[in-house]
Amino acid sequence: MIELKNVYKTFKQKDNEVQALKDINLKVEKGDIFGVIGFSGAGKSTLIRLVNLLERPTKGEVIVSGESLLALNSKQLRKAKKQIGMVFQHFYLLESKNVFDNIAIPLILQKRSKGEIRKRVMELLEFVGLSDKEKAYPNELSGGQKQRVGIARALATNPSVLLCDEATSALDPQTTMSILRLLKRINEEYNITVMIITHEMAVIQEICNKVAVMEQGEIIEQGNVLEVFSNPAHPTTQSFVSTIVQHDLPESMKSKYKSIPGSRIAKLEFFGKEVGQPFLYEIVTQFEVKPGILFANTVEIQDNLISTMTVRLTGQDDQIIRALSYLKEQGIQVEEVAE
């Protein structure tokens, strides 16, 4: 649906060049909710602006719905953009127009008939839950309502792709959740592919099925959300994941338990079908290793569960080692907390 191939973007400033994007390769499949996460300045906003050519890449290819956008002339490009809706962090609604006219604008640009516009706008207002705000002006709306108008406007021309540039970053957590649920509904009911840029892990956790992590203009990790979250390779990814999947023991706890002889501390992580299995019981009966739970947590990501647990194991040392390798055989990720 969306494909970026070997994309580079360099911004020329007065005396120096800033390389905003380096060798970006990514593929968003139809029906995906693809999240791109990174700290500010990582280049993610530049990345999403490439998809509808608000920014032109210095090098590389941008393909949307099988069409190479860079090969199009300006007229063809304008037509292609009607297939790509975009939602902005700061909404960018016309302050001088009411809600109805704001949503109608993309249709007016396409010179649709009055009746057709009226029908479509009312339908969209209903969908985003703002039927009663038809005549309100943007300054009379809350942030969440403005974003709903922004989303309705982006959907007006029935696009196949919706780009969200930090669509929830200006909103409070509760409003964020309601906007995310709306985006998910758009994805499911209209079968629109969604690409979303964010610095909030909660956004990825809540709605994305795929994720790319960016740092300094590069994609450092990408793939299925569950895979990336359950096994983050890069330190930046780990730090993002740690904001929702708690892994670390409090310092005081670590020092208290580490020094006890004849025991080891291990971090266990399991997801999918392993969650809920009686592993601890097994290691007690099979290896006579006594587990003490120091920390445990379970998070839900896209209907999948990830459980993490830090346990102190006491018993005979060779038995503890055997118990740990038994756990590994069961598909549990085991990591010993270093002495």
Partner 1 sequence: MFDTFITTDLFIQAIVETLYMVGWSLLIGTLIGGPLGILLVVTRKGGVLENRLLYNILNPIINIIRSLPFIILLIAIIPFTRFVVQTTIGTEAAIVPLIIYIAPYIARLVENSILEVNPGILEAAESMGATPFQVIWYFLLPEAFGSLILSITTAAIGLLGATAMAGTVGGGGVGSLALTYGYQRFDTFVMVITVVVLIILVQVIQSLGTFLARKVRRR
Residues interacting with partner 1, by CB under 8 A?
52, 54, 77-82, 84-86, 88, 90, 92, 94-97, 105-106, 108-109, 137, 139, 157, 163
Least distance (Å) between residue 87 CB and partner 1? 9
- Comparing CB distances to partner 1, the nearer of 105 and 337 is 105
**Residue 307 CA from chain centroid, whole number:** 20
Contact yes or no for 299/230 (Cβ under 8 A): no
Nearer residue to partner 1 within complex by CB, 19 or 157: 157
Residue 234 per-residue DSSP state: S
Min CB(135)–partner 1 separation in Å: 11
Closest CB 163 distance from partner 1, rounded Å: 8
**Nearest CB to partner 1, comparing residues 101 and 282:** 101
d(CA 283, CA 277): 12
Nearest to 153 by CA among 130, 176, 175, 172: 130
CB of 84 to partner 1, least distance (A): 7
- Compute the distance between CA of residue 282 and CA of residue 327 in angstroms, rounded to an integer: 9
Beta carbon nearer to partner 1, 141 or 323: 141
- How crowded is residue 117: how many other Cβ atoms within 10 Å of its Cβ? 21
d(CA 13, CA 95): 32
One-letter amino acid of 167: A
Residue 12: CB minimum distance to partner 1, A: 13
Nearer to partner 1, 86 or 182 (CB): 86
Which residue's CB is nearer to partner 1, number 161 or number 228? 161
Minimum gap (Å) between residue 139 Cβ and partner 1: 5
Give the shortest CB-58-to-partner 1 separation in angstroms: 17
- Nearest residue (CB) to partner 1, 73 versus 174: 73
Torsion of CA 43, 38, 147, 183, to 10 degrees: 120
Give the count of alpha carbons within 13 A of 317, CB side only. Answer: 3
d(CA 243, CA 246): 7
Which strands form 17-28's sheet, in the order they lie side by side? Answer: 17-28, 2-12, 59-64, 67-68
